[in-house]
Amino acid sequence: METGFREETIIEKRDRLLSVVESVYNLDLKSKSRKKEYVAARISYCVILRDLGFGYANIGDFVGKVHATIIYYYNLFEIYKMSDVRFKSFHEKILYKFHKDDITVFDIDKIKLEKEVNIMSLRIKDLDSQNTDLISKIKDIEEYNKKNESMHRLINQKITPKNKKEIELKLIRFFNGL
C-alpha cells in the first residue's frame, strides 16, 4: 500500500453521508418505517447521493427501495423543500455537516506506521536529552555571569561611546600584566 493522502472514496462518502443524515434526523435510515421523518430523511439522503453521481438503482439497493422509488424521491424533493420548513432546515444542516467534514484520508499500513512511531519516539528521546544538556549549559552560564555580575555592572556603568576604546586598551594591558 502506498503511503500518503488520498481523497475519500465514493463509498466512504456514502457511508459518511448516511451517518450525517442519521445524526441530524436521529433515526436509522435503513428502517422500513414509512413515518414522515423517515421518508424525509431518505429523500435528503437519496438526492445528495444522486448529486454525488450515484445511479438510481445503486441508491435503491442501498436504502432497500426500488429505483422507481428513488426517482419518485428525487422528483418529490423540490416540493418538500418548498413546502416543509423543517425538511429544508434539516436538508441544509445535512449538507453543511457533510461538506464541512469533507475529509482527506491518510493511508499508511500498520507496519510503516509502527516504524514511524518508533522513529519519532527515538527522536523525542534524543531531543529530550539535548534539551537537558542545553538547560545544564544555561545554568552554568548563568552561574558564571552571577560570579562576574558586579564587574560587568561596573564596566557597563563606566563605558561611554567616547571612552570605550580607551577602557578596552586599559583592560587588555591590565589582563596582560597579570
pLDDT category at 156 given cuts 50, 70, 90 is confident
Domain range summary for the chain, segments of one domain joined by +? 4-106, 110-177
Q: What is the pLDDT of residues 8-62, one digit of tens each?
A: 788 888 999 999 999 999 999 888 899 999 999 999 999 999 999 999 999 999 8
Q: To the nearest whole percent, how much of the chain has pLDDT over 70?
A: 92
For the ranges 6-20, 106-120, 125-139, the one whose mean pLDDT is highest: 125-139
E strand residue ranges, the chain = 4-7, 104-107
For domain 4-106, the question of CATH label 1.10.1750.10 is answered with: yes
**Per-residue confidence (pLDDT) for residue 177, from 0 to 100:** 78
Q: How many CA atoms lie within 13 A of 74 on its CB side?
A: 19
Q: What integer pLDDT is reported at residue 4 of this predicted model?
A: 60
Task: Provide the percentage of residues in the chain whose pLDDT is more than 90.
Answer: 51
Phi and psi torsions of 6, nearest 5°: -145, 160
Spacing of C-alpha 90 from chain mean position: 26
